[in-house]
Amino acid sequence: MSPVSSTRRARGRRHWRGELRSQWLLVRDTARLLGPSARLLTTTEAHTYAYSVSANFLLASLPFLFLMLWIAHHLLPSLTTQQAIIGQFAGRYLPAGQDRLFADAARLASRRTVQIFSLFMLALSSSGVFLPLEVALNSIWGFKQNRSYAGNAIVSLGLVLACGLIAYASIVAASLGTAVVSWLLPASWAPLDHVVSTALVLLCSFPAGVAVFFLIYWKLPNGKVSAAQVFPAALYTGLIAEIFTTVFPLLLPWFDFPAVYASLAVPVTLILWGYCGALLLLFGASLSARGVARLPALPIRLPRYAELRAWYVAHAHHSPAHDDAPARDSVQRAGAAGGGE
């Protein structure tokens, strides 16, 4: 073996050792940052809060779906694609029983008694969702005082209203996009409508989820929380939630709930879904409170005035108009001389 090849191999080994060491340091630092937040999920308090949230989530989800259908039917009835988009949102965020639940919601949404009962159940269950979440977030942020039950109910109703507006805005955006694409595409391309609507649902659901997480992290704790500190956590939690939404239905066949719970498989699946979502929300809140979740620093530097002026002068001297100026002057002088003769 020649000395040159042995030197190259030695350099290659040193390079890979350095890369492995840097990756190990990155993993170790990440574990140090995420470790305390991950340990939060092993406490009994976190699981108690998550179970309470999941039970009330089951009570609140169906009235919320009813009201979305009712609003879509009465607020913008000419936008006929709304019902299909709401069905796709339900299929996206409900892991089991989507078709039956959506069919029942569409059938019952036109009844006045169901509307009043939906409002009552949504008001009652929303307080049940946000009450344990407020206690958990206050504990994470170190706030000693919790709101009263009436105060939490008022904040919960405000958050439900805000989340409903965000959800309906995403539904309208996806519906308008689907209607425009259906109008632009020829009739022979009609099978592409479902593909386009699915893509628009995915495109609109992510910012809506981030906005919902942001509102919960920012307004639910009983104390002053910096919006700049909670937004990165809401962004990362929304991204993890989208991944979880995709992976969770793929794992359901391994659980085989129908073989264990029979007709109760759908409610059990929804409770487990809400339970995991609540733990994910608490994990993101812990990252936010600890200052771990931050936006990546982008090395963007605005040019200075002197640099812009130097660039303009350099390009002005080399522009085609400037290069053609001497030729135009010579032609004009020659024409003037010929006219003088």
Write out pLDDT tens, residues 230-269: 888 888 888 888 888 888 888 888 888 888 888 788 888 8
Q: Model confidence over 75-130: pLDDT tens digits?
A: 766 666 677 777 777 777 777 767 777 776 777 666 665 566 667 777 777 777 88
Q: What is the mean pLDDT of residues 290-306?
A: 59
Give the number of domains in the chain.
1
pLDDT at 327 over 50: no
What percent of the chain has pLDDT above 90? 1
Between CA 303 and CA 128 the distance in angstroms is 53
Residue 298: inside a domain, yes or no? no
pLDDT at 334 over 50: no
Between CA 237 and CA 4 the distance in angstroms is 51
Quote the tokens at residue 183: 């109008």
Residue 134 in contact with residue 151, Cβ under 8 Å? no
3-state secondary structure of 13: helix
3-state secondary structure of 95: coil
Whole-number pLDDT of residue 186: 67
Q: Model confidence over 25-48: pLDDT tens digits?
A: 666 665 666 777 778 888 888 888
Q: What is the mean pLDDT of residues 168-186?
A: 78
Whole-number pLDDT of residue 341: 46
Between CA 302 and CA 337 the distance in angstroms is 52
Amino acid at 111: R
Quote the tokens at residue 108: 């019952």
Average predicted confidence (pLDDT) for the chain: 75
pLDDT at 304 over 50: yes
Q: What is the mean pLDDT of residues 181-199?
A: 71
Instruction: Answer positive or negative: Cα dihedral of 150, 218, 221, 246.
Output: positive
Which of 140, 160, 141 is closest to 57 using CA atoms? 160
Residue 326: inside a domain, yes or no? no
Residue 31: inside a domain, yes or no? no
Residue 328: inside a domain, yes or no? no
Return all residues near 60 (Cβ < 8 A) that are at least 6 apart.
Answer: 121, 122, 125, 126, 128, 129
Its pTM stands at 0.70
Residue 305: inside a domain, yes or no? no
* Helices 44-75 + 112-141 axis angle, to 10: 140
Domain range for 212 is 43-289
Q: What is the mean pLDDT of residues 324-329?
A: 49
Q: Model confidence over 11-25: pLDDT tens digits?
A: 666 667 776 776 666
Residue 26: inside a domain, yes or no? no
Whole-number pLDDT of residue 3: 60
Residue 221: inside a domain, yes or no? yes
Residue 309: inside a domain, yes or no? no
